[in-house]
A and B are shown apart, each in its own frame.
Chain A
Amino acid sequence: MSTKGQHAQGWGFVAPALLWTFAFFIVPFIVMGAMSLATLDGRTLIWGLSFQNYAELAEKRFLWRAILVSLEITLTVTVVSVVLAYPLAWIIAFNVPKRWQRLALLLAILPFWTSYVVRSYAWLLVLARDGVVNQTLINLGLIAEPLTLANTRFATVTGFVHFFVMLLTLTIYANLVQLSPNYRRAAQDLGASAFQTFRHVILPLTLPGIVTGAFLTFVLCIGDYVTPQILGGNTELTVPQVIMVQLGRRADFPLAAALAIVLMGIVTVAYLASARWLRLDRL
């Protein structure tokens, strides 16, 4: 068979997927980029090369506040999730007997399969003014008046952390068990304490896995609309919430598109910052 014929046949197989991606991903993406440079005159859209939307992001307080809030929440969630998930993965990998590990892991991620929207709603029940946490604390006599837990940033972070702890436990556990147990034995054999073994051997060896998991957390968290909308209320808005507001009653597509581009810019920066350790091919 000639190489030309081979090429043609190969294209035949690849073309449908490529066309789909092109038509429904690349083209929308380009149009969105163009839209972010358009302006709105009343209700009429004026295409052009205006950077007015981006200028607004810097000028209007509710817009740059949203970017700041999104960054703060996402960074908090990423750090807290890693710090909570690492010990959990460690305990399942090294303290739980081998034959129970699979079960422990399955149990640790089972609530993954509650519906995405329902999971945030369930946290609303837990954190509500007369919800489980407040009622328990009052009954225990620890507080007199119910605490305001729902519709706060704390609630948003809690909901996110719950989801990402499950995700990160899974990835960090996979990282820990694939290490040869002889690394730990060798370190201890050479006189390292449990902490030294962790600090000098296990942590450096699992760092790529941690960074990969943290990057994934960052990307999924900063682009999420549901959790802050249900749990955070309207006290402060994240970028996805502001985007949805623009799409809603204001129908300001150009501004929404500009915000989406900014969101992608932030993700790109995060990618570049962590690229050294990322192992995306290993996901």
Chain B
Amino acid sequence: MMRVLPWVYLAAAFVFIYLPVATLVLFSFQDGQLPVPPFNGPSLRWYADVLGDSRLTAALINSVLVAFGASLTAVTLGFLAAYGLARHVMPGSALIRALLIAPLTVSYLIVGLGLLIVLTQMGFGLSLMTAGIGHVVINLPLAFAIIYAAMGAQQQNAERAARDLGANERQVIWLVTVPMLAPAIGAAFFLSMTFSWDEFIISFLLTRFDVTLPVEIWSMLRSGLSPRLNAIGSLVFLVSIAVVLTLELLFFRKRRS
């Protein structure tokens, strides 16, 4: 009894964890109007429907653009701040660090709400750009924290050696610091992309006509249950895990060799 109990629990946990995903994917192949039992199919009609939907493809491209732009900005700003704080003695550096990390402790809803209030008071129009600004606010602390934590004495000695050999500040950063910190910078960028790609509430509050994919899915939801939503959800899931697994394998290979 005590021997099987853990395995029963494990199985039950996996059923709970996979129940919604399995239902989502199964009924994306539904040959009918409703994604509920009984299952008729399989049919690929909803996938064809989704892939032919220009609003969805536009939203998808918007999402990639916002995620890429926001991540690039966040990682660049985060890297520069980490470099400045780790390599230069500055008064009040503890306070600066706390300030840069602060947005991490606040709900996305509140970050979005604050920006919305300021932007509307200033008469600023909402667009993909404003959503991107919001995404940088939430991703910058993460990028800064990851890169700052990775800046150890080892890099500092390499930087000193480079300076000693005649490199100027720009050359030190480009030829020594950035290549040595590439794993941390890559991780920060990847995490930033993931968060931005999946972020809903800030995009919802700060966009108007052009929207990101989660916001588009949200508006589709208003018309009720539909296998179309299953199809688009399954596609997003498939692409995400493909990316995650690829990265996992790449990192795993790298670490082993």
Query: Do A and B touch (CB < 8 Å)?
Result: yes
Looking at the complex, which of A182-190, A201-209, A252-260 is the stretch in contact with chain B? Answer: A252-260
**CB of B233 to closest CB in A, whole Å:** 4
Residue B158 lies at the interface, judged by CB distance under 8 Å to chain A: no
Chain A residues 76 to 116 lying within 8 A of chain B, measured CB to CB, are: 84, 87-88, 91-92, 95-96, 104, 106-108, 110-111, 113-116
A119-B233 Cα distance, complex, nearest whole Å: 8
Interface flags, B30-61, vs A, CB<8A=1, else 0: 00001111100000000000000000000000
Interface flags, B214-239, vs A, CB<8A=1, else 0: 10011001000100011011001100
Residue A3 lies at the interface, judged by CB distance under 8 Å to chain B: yes
Q: A130-B37, A226-B200 are in contact. Are A113 and B244 (CB under 8 A)?
A: yes
Number of A-B contacts (CB under 8 A): 233
**CB of A7 to closest CB in B, whole Å:** 6
Q: Is the interface of A mostly helix, strand, loop or mixed?
A: helix
Using CB atoms, name the residue of chain B closest to A132: B23
Q: A14-B90, A135-B37, A243-B113 are in contact. Are A226 and B201 (CB under 8 A)?
A: yes
Interface residues of A, Cβ cutoff 8 Å to B? 3, 6-7, 9-14, 16-18, 20-21, 24-29, 31-32, 35, 84, 87-88, 91-92, 95-96, 104, 106-108, 110-111, 113-119, 121-126, 128, 130-132, 135, 162, 165-166, 219-220, 222-226, 230, 240, 243, 247, 253, 256-257, 260, 263-264, 267, 271
Inter-chain contacts of B137 with A (CB < 8 A)? 20-21, 24-25
Q: A10-B84, A14-B90, A256-B113 are in contact. Are A117 and B200 (CB under 8 A)?
A: yes
Inter-chain contacts of A21 with B (CB < 8 A)? 99-100, 102-103, 137, 140
Inter-chain contacts of B81 with A (CB < 8 A)? 13-14, 16-18
Q: Which of A9, A125, A222 contacts B88 (CB 8 A)?
A: A9
Q: Is the CB of A10 within 8 A of B90?
A: yes
7 residue pairs A–B, Cβ–Cβ below 8 Å: A17-B77, A21-B140, A24-B136, A113-B244, A122-B233, A131-B23, A243-B113
A126-B134 Cα distance, complex, nearest whole Å: 33
Residue B152 lies at the interface, judged by CB distance under 8 Å to chain A: no
Q: Which of A32, A135, A226 contacts B113 (CB 8 A)?
A: A32
Q: Is the CB of B200 within 8 A of A24?
A: no
Residue B17 lies at the interface, judged by CB distance under 8 Å to chain A: yes
Chain B residues 163 to 199 lying within 8 A of chain A, measured CB to CB, are: 169, 198-199
How many residues does chain B have at the interface if contact means C-beta atoms less than 8 Å apart? 80
Q: Which of A113, A128, A135 contacts B237 (CB 8 A)?
A: A113
Inter-chain contacts of B89 with A (CB < 8 A)? 3, 6-7, 10
Using CB atoms, name the residue of chain B closest to A131: B36
Inter-chain contacts of A220 with B (CB < 8 A)? 107
Residue B14 lies at the interface, judged by CB distance under 8 Å to chain A: yes
Interface flags, B133-153, vs A, CB<8A=1, else 0: 110110010001000000000
A12-B91 Cα distance, complex, nearest whole Å: 14
Q: Is the CB of A17 within 8 A of B144?
A: yes
Using CB atoms, name the residue of chain B closest to A240: B109
Q: Is the CB of A118 within 8 A of B102?
A: no
Residue B94 lies at the interface, judged by CB distance under 8 Å to chain A: no
Q: Is the CB of A263 within 8 A of B114?
A: no
Given contacts A24-B137, A32-B110, A88-B9, could you give 16 more A-B pairs where the C-beta distance is less than 8 Å?
Answer: A6-B88, A26-B99, A28-B114, A31-B114, A104-B10, A114-B236, A115-B217, A115-B236, A116-B200, A117-B214, A122-B20, A125-B24, A165-B17, A224-B107, A224-B109, A225-B201
